[in-house]
Amino acid sequence: MSFAMRLIGRAAKGALDLAKDSLDPDRMVQLGMSGLIEAARTRHEADPMPRWRPGEPLKLLLAGYVGTRNTGADVRVEEMVRQFRHLFGDEHLELSICTIDPALTKGYFRTVRQLHIPQIFHKFLYDTVREQHGVIACEGSMFKSKFANALSTMMVGAIGLAAAEEKVAVGYGGEAGAMDDSLKRLVEKHCQDALVITRNEESTDVLDRLGVPTRLGTDTAWTFEAAPAERAERLLKRAGWDGEQPVVALCPINPFWWPVKPEPLKAAWNGLSGAYDDAHYKSVYFHKHGQDVDRAFDGYLRALAGALSDYRRETDCFPILVGMEQLDRRAAERMNEMLPAPLPLFVSDEHEMYEMVAILRRCAMVVSSRYHALVCSMPGLVPSVGVTMDERIRNLMADRGQPELALEVDDPELDRKLLAAMQRVDADRQAVKDGIGRCVVANLERMGRMGAILVDHVRGFHPDFPFADGLGEGGDPWAHLPPLGPTASAVVDRYRA
């Protein structure tokens, strides 16, 4: 880059900092969404759409974070679809789903119409929700500022628009955590007439304080059946596995480049200069970046690499790196540069969700900063350690009765503590597996209760909907689960009281 371009770049960055202080793009996104929800309310009062009538399918829109090859997001939505088809009946249900990139969800979500949602999503939701009988928000990190206020604004927008039009408006298996004040106000204003079925009590407490109606549920990935173990074994052998060594998977991320924020001026300058390519997410959205982020990221990866190297000196194993979202490839490749020899990579940009989960379940141990790498491995009774950036993995390990297996990404002693946790898993392997098994069964039952809650909630809007006899909160929670595959069935047979 020439000297003149560097000068222009410095001036542009100064202007960006000034603009950021005076006009928060996240706030603009929220204000725009709030305005359209109020406009939808006015439109509905003047010209309401026809309600569902017996004999026609119930139209539900699934609003979530799919189309990015995020394995966890895709798995949990796949299982929602299976559960909803079981509860409502295929002949009585018409599902649509918002996808960021239809090419990346091709072949997923059978029987569901996929709708391409633009990065600037406001008008799309305003038009699309009007054509539906209800909305199910299906993102796990539903209401929190940790990752992207824009994503939570999309969740609020989808269910807020449905609630404004007096339709079914449900957040399903979602989580609420720390929120910026402006996002709190948005949730408080537009989710009062929705129902959020949370995946833990901590999220229920957050939303209760905002006056949002809640019920307690869980995540929905528990019922997922992966590809056969033989497929995972073929992939591992192709990568150099001898078929005998214990496979240890590490699932690194970049915990420090969140949140993603919309920055239109930065996007314009980046288009001209490429100065922010490393931080560019998509469209006008950028990751958090800077020297502090890079230092923290390197320290975290070096701790993972150091613990693994120490572990390998005393334990024979076949280590692999797993990228649960295509974004994680950067973290895995950077970690490989820190190791004496690079490890095999299994990343979701090259492997669909059935293969990804099959690989996790073929492991002897999983060390993960991805929540769903832990959840998806658990029905396979794979012992695991979490290295967490927020409350989700802490809550999961507490639910397992193993809080000591949740470590922090920024712990200055992460290297030493991770090695100790991995050693503890090996020393107490059966006890860890038993805690996992009991946790899986408890969460399967909670997922069944979620389905029962949803049935009765929809009945409140549409009493004539032809649900099968026995469905609802008076029925057996296990009857509200989609058909269980052999993996989940084996855990239930072994650990259900």
Average pLDDT value over all residues in the chain: 92
Is 289 in the same domain as 214? Answer: no
Is 33 in the same domain as 138? Answer: yes
For the cut 50, the answer to whether the pLDDT of residue 5 exceeds it is: no
Give the pLDDT score at 260: 73
Distance, CA of 422 to CA of 276 (rounded, Å): 38
Is 216 in the same domain as 283? Answer: no
For the cut 80, the answer to whether the pLDDT of residue 197 exceeds it is: yes
* 247 domain residue, yes or no: yes
Supply the CATH number for residue 43's domain. Answer: 3.40.50.11930
Give the pLDDT band of residue 2 (cuts 50, 70, 90): low
- pLDDT tens digits, one per residue of 390-407: 889 999 999 999 999 999
For residues 281-295, give the mean pLDDT: 82
Is 274 in the same domain as 387? Answer: yes
Across the chain, which distance is largest between two alpha carbons, in Å?
75
Is 148 in the same domain as 207? Answer: yes
Supply the CATH number for residue 411's domain. Answer: 3.40.50.2000
Which candidate, 370, 275, 384, places its Cα nearest to that of 326?
370
For the cut 80, the answer to whether the pLDDT of residue 429 exceeds it is: yes
Whole domain around residue 267: which residue ranges? 229-427
Give the pLDDT score at 281: 75
* 386 domain residue, yes or no: yes
- pLDDT tens digits, one per residue of 232-245: 999 999 999 999 99
For the cut 90, the answer to whether the pLDDT of residue 114 exceeds it is: yes
* 437 domain residue, yes or no: no
Give the pLDDT band of residue 272 (cuts 50, 70, 90): low
Task: Decide: 343 and 320 in contact? Cβ < 8 Å.
Answer: yes
Is 259 in the same domain as 212? Answer: no
Is 165 in the same domain as 106? Answer: yes
Stretch among 4-13, 256-265, 282-291, 420-429 having the lowest mean pLDDT: 4-13
Give the pLDDT band of residue 268 (cuts 50, 70, 90): confident
Distance, CA of 236 to CA of 359 (rounded, Å): 8
Residue finishing a domain among 427, 455, 484: 427
Tell me: cis bond preceding 342? Omega within 30 of 0 counts.
no
Is 248 in the same domain as 356? Answer: yes
* 2 domain residue, yes or no: no
Residue finishing a domain among 399, 427, 455: 427
| Angle formed at CA 65 by CA 63 and CA 68, multiple of 5 degrees | 140
* 304 domain residue, yes or no: yes
Split into its structural domains, the chain has a count of 2
Is 328 in the same domain as 288? Answer: yes
Report phi then psi at 285, rounded to 5: -100, 140
* 323 domain residue, yes or no: yes
| Angle formed at CA 172 by CA 149 and CA 408, multiple of 5 degrees | 55
Is 178 in the same domain as 249? Answer: no
Cα separation values, 94 from 111, 294, 437, Å: 8, 46, 35
Task: Decide: 455 and 87 in contact? Cβ < 8 Å.
Answer: yes
Is 212 in the same domain as 316? Answer: no
Is 339 in the same domain as 261? Answer: yes
